[in-house]
């Protein structure tokens, strides 16, 4: 029933009070959820900053090892070693639930490989190729780790914004409107009770005169 259709009666007042109690309870729950998500966001952000720093370090090392491998084996030797890898690194996607928000979890698949899985002949290449491959496998693993954290941050920020809008709507619109409606109904009921009391007094006076 829309608020505009609620009549200033006892049952109408009960309806408004129930709605207020429900709105206040939902407001408390959403506030607790919002506080919890903010704490989780701070934790994820701290982790993401750390992992991004590690990512930059691994990227620099991977480039350095690739440069050394190119110098030692030549660009063609590095390219042939890279093309010999038949299994493409990838990842699986799952989710974990934090305060009702589905945050992504990424699991590397065939990122770190054995020498045999890399496909190039062990005797045909030098250890610098292996070092470069190790560095880039570590880099890819770190990219996946950072992507998981930063994806979780984006998802959490979206849900925080939605929850904040709902909290604000309840706090600054729904609950104040219900409060005003309750006061209006109480005021009208008081007026009606006073009018009834006046009528009763008049009726008693009339009866007393006739008696």
Tens-digit pLDDT profile for residues 49-60: 999 999 999 999
Tell me the pLDDT of the chain averaged across its residues.
Answer: 87
Q: Is residue 77 part of a domain?
A: yes
Task: Give the predicted TM-score (pTM) of the model.
Answer: 0.76
Q: Report the alpha-carbon distance of residue 112 to residue 138 in Å, rounded.
A: 7
DSSP annotation string for 59-108: HHHHHHHHHHHHHHHHHHHHHHHHHT--SPPEEEEEEEEETTEEEEEEEE
Domain that holds residue 36: 17-189
The closest alpha carbon to 90, from 112, 111, 60, belongs to: 111
Per the CB < 8 A criterion, the answer to whether 84 and 58 are in contact is no
The residues, ordered by sequence, that sit 6+ positions from 3 with a Cβ below 8 Å of its Cβ are 16, 177, 178, 181
Per the domain annotation, does 98 fall within a domain? yes
Task: Please report whether residue 4 resides in a domain.
Answer: no
- Whether 46 has a pLDDT exceeding 90, the answer reads yes
Q: Taking 70 as the threshold, does the pLDDT of residue 125 lie above it?
A: no
How many angstroms separate the CA atoms of 111 and 134, rounded? Answer: 10
Q: Does residue 204 lie within any of the structural domains?
A: no
> In this predicted structure, what is the pLDDT of residue 159?
96
pLDDT at 211: 59
Coil, helix or strand at residue 210? helix
Residue 83 has pLDDT above 70, yes or no: yes
CA distance 186 to 178: 12
Cβ pair 37, 99 in contact under 8 A: yes
- What pLDDT digit, counting tens, does each position of 19-35 carry? 999 999 999 999 999 99
pLDDT at 202 over 80: no
Instruction: Summarize pLDDT for 91-100 with one digit per residue, the tens.
Output: 999 999 988 8
**How many angstroms separate the CA atoms of 151 and 105, rounded?**
9
Residue 198 lies in a domain: no
Q: Retrieve residue 115's tokens.
A: 């020498």
Q: Is 35 inside any structural domain?
A: yes
Q: Work out whether the CA dihedral 127, 128, 131, 136 comes out positive or negative.
A: negative
CATH classification at residue 77: 1.10.287.3240
Residue 196 lies in a domain: no
Domain count, the chain: 1
pLDDT at 208: 67
Greatest Cα-to-Cα distance within the chain, rounded to the nearest angstrom: 127
Asked, for residue 195, whether it belongs to a domain, the answer is: no
Tokens read off for 46: 């701290």
Q: Are 157 and 41 in contact (CB under 8 A)?
A: yes
State residue 20's pLDDT score. 92
């Amino acid at each position: 029933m829309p608020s505009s259709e609620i009549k200033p009666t006892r049952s109408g007042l009960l309806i408004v009070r129930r709605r207020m109690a429900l709105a206040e309870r939902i407001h408390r729950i959403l506030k607790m959820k919002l506080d919890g998500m903010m704490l989780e966001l701070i934790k994820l952000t701290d982790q993401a900053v750390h992992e991004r720093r590690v990512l930059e370090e691994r990227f620099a090392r991977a480039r350095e090892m690739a440069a050394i491998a190119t110098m030692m084996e030549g660009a063609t030797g590095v390219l042939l070693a890279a093309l010999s890898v038949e299994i493409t690194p990838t990842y699986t996607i799952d989710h974990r639930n934090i305060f009702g928000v589905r945050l992504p979890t990424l699991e590397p698949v065939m990122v770190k490989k054995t020498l045999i899985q890399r496909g190039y002949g062990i005797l045909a290449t030098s250890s610098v190729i292996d070092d470069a491959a190790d560095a880039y496998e570590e880099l890819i693993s770190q990219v996946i780790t950072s992507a998981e954290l930063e994806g979780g941050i984006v998802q959490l920020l979206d849900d925080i914004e939605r929850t904040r809008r709902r909290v604000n709507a309840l706090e600054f619109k729904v609950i104040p409107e219900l409060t005003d409606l309750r006061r209006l109904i109480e005021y009208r009921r008081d007026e009606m009770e006073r009018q009834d009391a006046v009528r009763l007094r008049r009726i008693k006076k009339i009866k007393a005169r006739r008696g």
